[in-house]
Amino acid sequence: MRPMSKPVIVDWQPRWPDEYAEIHGRLGASFGDLALAIEHVGSTSIPGMAAKDVIDIQVSVASLEPQEPIASALSDAGFAETPFGLLADDHIPPGWHTDTPDDVWIKLFASAPPDARRVHVHVRVAGSPNERYALLFRDFMRAHPDARDAWVIFKRELAKICDDVQDYVEVKDPATDVVMVTAERWAADTGWMPHRGGAETP
């Protein structure tokens, strides 16, 4: 596991889509039919968005169980579980339906080896709220350059005052929830649906 360090936000890099395409190919080959979708998510998936230089990829599957085939597919593609294991919890937005179990926000998470290009792979259940959250944020920001530019300013200022990445994430997650209120309104107004937002699929 990489030691916590101060977050560094860099300008949009034209190489990010090509790097994603290469990783997509590896994951597609290793997951095969196990993957229902493989998509570039996170800030590096949004053209013009400054970001931490980490490629985030979401693999959508029918179920996280059994974990063994998913773990094997991740390993074959060059990704390993963290020291805490594959199972991880996503941030749960406030006001999430109290009659729905929190375990719908669980994912499997793996990363590249410490000496490799930084990549995070998030394996989520197709149709789950956390799968939808990642895709809606990406597509909303792609469709709204003004919101993207305002988000960049926020991230740069936040990175200046945070001593490590964990502090950065703990502030950014609830701020993202605020953005998602508007994103949900946009989704309702436009009829947006997951996997229809123009993912870069080689």
Going from N- to C-terminal start, the domains of the chain cover 15-190
Sort strands 119-125 and 55-61 into parallel, antiparallel or unpaired.
parallel
In percent, how much of the chain has pLDDT > 70? 92
Q: CATH number of the domain at 15-190, out of 3.30.930.10, 3.30.460.10, 3.40.50.720, 3.30.420.40?
A: 3.30.460.10
pTM here? 0.92
Give start and end residues of each alpha helix (H) in 46-164. Answer: 67-76, 129-143, 145-161
User: What is the C-alpha separation between 27 and 106, in angstroms, rounded?
Assistant: 20
User: Where does the pLDDT of residue 158 fall: very low under 50, low under 70, confident under 90, or very high at 90 and above?
Assistant: very high
- Averaged pLDDT score across all residues of the chain: 92
Spatial separation of the C-alpha atoms in residues 179 and 190, rounded to whole Å: 17
% of the chain at pLDDT higher than 90: 85
Q: What are phi and psi of 87, to 5 degrees?
A: -70, 130
How are beta strands 80-81 and 55-61 bridged, if at all?
unpaired
Structure-token match 């936000």, residue found: 9
Each residue of 61-117: pLDDT tens digit? Answer: 999 999 999 999 999 999 998 877 899 999 999 877 656 666 889 999 999 999 999
Whole-number pLDDT of residue 99: 62
| pLDDT given for residue 198 in this prediction | 44
The span from the CA of 27 to the CA of 112, in Å, is 12
Query: How does pLDDT run across 160-171, given as a tens digit for each residue?
Result: 999 999 999 999
Q: What is the pLDDT of residue 197?
A: 46
Whether the bond between 66 and the residue before it is cis, its omega within 30 degrees of 0, is yes
